[in-house]
Structure 1
């Protein structure tokens, strides 16, 4: 594979007419790193990937591979591999011929094409399917062909655009493991686009959370999971309870909050003072039924294996999402609580 030390995006901006799809993206990707671009639909993550691939020209900024400027280089000369959401396989070509197609276009010696094709097919564990057409394969197998076709070129960077979104839940889990295995065994540098925070957390070395074309936070999965930079990142990272409240008292980073029929102690993620309007962010798994706490009325109960997902409401009608080891009944009154360290408080 072509080596590089780092890939750098400096002030990358992409406009469509008078609308900014991506603004001021600064990101340095180290060789061998797995980066996930994460965010809701329309946040700019696929735009960023297409700018990297050369499929979209930049409106402003630059892209560098070490000391080589890339944004002026045509896509076919960047040496990147790309895996698309819809696989984009040739339906009339066998697995082997789909995988070898790029090598043949480069007019490599026949023995080298055969060797590299065999190695790529073996890596994605499709040896017994090599002679089949894509239409004879499952969705997961077709996605493996697409990955093999990308890595057979020995690219300096692999770009993946929501590659698992068309698969069912079981196949998504299997392919997640497969992608991580290939990344680690080959030392690939990978940029991966997804809207699935669980997928991003499990795969990436670092996450880039985007919103409305701007970077909200860059960090490791642990950093974003435990210390989201703001309420928008918290929302996307699974803090499903985002509660408008008011600061009643503050002692250092520990604050007491009131509002919506709730009284909670939390940990300030921003500078806040008594009387401030704030948003308290709490994960459902951190809000649990307890002997003492906030009284709520159970509305919806869903069984999720080891525990129950519960939607309940306070006396003032605020919806809360929580977890319970016991099955409460709809209409039942229970009390819930959360540890102050698990309630993050953001300025409103």
Structure 2
């Protein structure tokens, strides 16, 4: 295997700062006849931020991105960039950079020519074009590949060309639409780090669309979780991970155990919810504490549900059905006698068919007021 020497990043003094002060999305929405794909969205993006729009297919995240890019007209609302309204401008007048899912590179042009294309179309001088292209090729570590064509590059290298082509224009905002979805798992991990590094070193402001919550958590300064065109929660990765606002966000943030139960008792020590052979002491979420007899949903992460120690208060007994080896920990899918499926982690040996008493610490079981359970694909609900 051959290796190439990475080009050094530009010195800090040569890196441009953010081209954006503040971008305001004020009640932007998009409807198709009677169907509203994006309900009014209010969001302020500050210069230098990395914002992720997160949700499953059909939640409205790509609609929001396309409205911001000018590829779709707004039904209502306005977009204001540093005090100037831009939603009335065509896409090319907004000056935003765009990185598409399929990269959209010109196959007959070299890497250098692909990156320089937008500058050439704008009539930027040859010397200035050369300087800016050299700078971004160094930043994305493609200087040694400048003479190659896209077909001679790996998927990750092609993606970096697409990013370079977007940022060489020095845009106030870079829009990225699921740019990692065409890469294999190992390359996705590598490119996540590259995207974050480029964002920081070039002083970008980035809006990033993804359905992968692990990707969003690792990249973004703030996350916007969308559900059926509506914002469910906006916050930092830590806020959404530790304090989801509702069962939908909890399910998307990896709380795979979503149990519809009934409050048996509630006091200053927390809530006891029970039903179908399950009994869970948990922590209520929301301004109004639940009352006895109220229907609730208890959310528990697999890593917080575990085989109980002797004498420990248990949630239920369940029979291990699927046991997956994940290195130092086993992921166990178990079924209670009433048919509830529980996902838990175990540091001790478990075999299919074993009967397990399971337990959870009360602060790790979140109790939400009753709501419709989110219907998320397994791969989107597991960090």
Give the TM-score, by structure 1 length.
0.98
Say which SS state the counterpart of residue 336 (structure 1) adopts: strand
State the alpha-carbon separation in 2 of the partners of residues 46 and 157 from structure 1. Answer: 16
Q: What's the RMSD between the two structures over aligned residues?
A: 1.1
8 Å Cα contact 2:19/2:171 also seen in 1: no
- Residue 148 to residue 253, structure 1, CA distance change in 2 (3 Å): farther
Which of the residues 264, 267, 289 maps onto 1:251?
A: 267
In the TM superposition, what are the counterparts of 1:14-53 in structure 2 within 5 Å? Answer: 14-53=30-69
The partner residue of 1:193 within 209, 219, 237 is: 209
**Unaligned regions of 5+ residues in structure 2, if any?**
1-15, 371-383
Shift of 1:253: 6.5
Distance 1:158 1:323 in 2: 39
Contact in 2 for aligned 1:261/1:318 (Cα 8 Å): no
- Establish whether residue 322 from structure 1 lines up as the match of residue 344 from structure 2: yes
8 Å CA contact retained: 2:69, 2:96: yes
Residue-by-residue CA offset, 1:42-79 (whole Å, 9 max, x unaligned): 00000000111111100011100121001001110111
- Match for residue 77 of structure 1? 93
1:308 matched to 2:330? The reply is yes
Q: Which residue of 2 aligns with 1:274?
A: 292
Does the CA-based 8 Å contact 1:253-1:268 persist in structure 2? no
SS of the residue 2:58 aligns to: coil
Structure 1: runs of 5+ lacking an equivalent: none
- Structure 1 segments of 4 or more deviating over 6 A? none
Structure 2 partner of 1:114: 130
Counterpart residue number, 2:301? 283
**2: CA distance, partners of 1:142 / 1:88:** 9
Question: 1:203-282, aligned counterparts within 5 Å?
Answer: 203-252=219-268, 254-270=270-286, 271=288, 272-282=290-300
- Residue 319 of structure 2 corresponds to 297
Q: CA deviation at 1:326?
A: 2.2
- TM-score, structure 2 normalization: 0.89
Q: CA deviation at 1:96?
A: 0.8
After superposition, the C-alpha distances for 1:1-55 in whole angstroms (9 at most, x for unaligned) are 6733210011111011211000110000011110000001000000000111111
